[in-house]
Amino acid sequence: MQIAIIGTGNVGGALATQWSKKGHHLNLGVQDAQNFKGKKLLQNPNTQVFHIAEAVAKSEVVLIATPPTAIFDIIAMVGDFSGKIVIDATNTVAKKPEPYATVYHCLTDKTNAEVVKCFNSTGFENMLNPVYDSEGIDMFMAGDSQKAKEITKQLALDCGFGTCWDFGKGDKVELLEKFALSWINLAIIQGHGRNLAFKVIKRQ
């Protein structure tokens, strides 16, 4: 699959690395191709760099892993998102993309992409290595597009996550950001460390 990575920092870099190992084609979308965070990702297999609009044009799936307020610049640069699956991995921890509650809400209002919120609920180290005691930890996604969810679930499995729970439709996106805050609370604020992950257990 051709995947554009917009935001090639901690999260974009971790997911790009995992997907490149699985044979996906990674199109890093950056503002300055000479100088961007994650330049070493170009050493990964199947990985090239383009300006943001070109990376999106070449790709079926687009990962947004930037500060939330960057979404306005990105939408302006890309223009047309028709036919694209867009995965929003951002969290509005510090600053919301006003007047929207989340990047997901901005994308569903301002573009015609198939949007899903995913890869926001754990630390980037867990995306680079989602295996604890030989078992994949869980990932979670929310949004109104079934098509986006099917593709995103497979991409989560390709990263090594055990499964990707459907957290619900678009009305659960803010809850999924709060779930991410719960991870941040345990790992960072309560001081348990970033080597900590969520896994759902069900009784048969």
Ligand X SMILES: NC(=O)c1ccc[n+]([C@@H]2O[C@H](COP(=O)([O-])OP(=O)(O)OC[C@H]3O[C@@H](n4cnc5c(N)ncnc54)[C@H](OP(=O)(O)O)[C@@H]3O)[C@@H](O)[C@H]2O)c1
Residue ranges binding ligand X (CB under 6 A)? 6-12, 30-31, 36-37, 65-68, 70, 73-74, 89-91, 93, 120, 123-124
Q: What is the nearest approach in angstroms of ligand X to the Cβ of residue 124?
A: 4
Tell me the residue nearest to ligand X as measured from the CB: 9
Contact 19, 155 (CB under 8 A): yes
Residue 33 C-beta: closest distance to ligand X, Å: 10
The DSSP-derived string for 41-97 is GGGSTTEEEEEHHHHHHT-SEEEE-S-GGGHHHHHHHH---TT-EEEE----SS---
Instruction: Specify burial of residue 10 (Cβ count, 10 A radius: 0-12, 13-18, 19+).
Output: middle
In angstroms, what is the minimal distance from the CB of 56 to ligand X?
Answer: 11
User: 67 or 170, CB closer to ligand X?
Assistant: 67
Closer to ligand X by CB, 123 or 202: give it: 123
Q: Whole-number minimum distance, CB 105 to ligand X, in Å?
A: 14
* CA proximity to 15, closest of 131, 177, 149, 127: 127
Query: What gap in Å lies between CA 14 and CA 34, rounded to an integer?
Result: 20
CA atoms of 13 and 41, how far apart (whole Å): 7
- Select 7 or 162, whichever has its Cβ closest to ligand X: 7
CA 180/CA 188 separation, integer angstroms: 12
Would you say 71 or 85 has its CB closer to ligand X? 71
Distance between CA atoms of residues 106 and 98, nearest Å: 9
Residue with Cβ nearer ligand X (26 or 204) = 26
- Closest approach of Cβ 134 to ligand X, in Å? 23
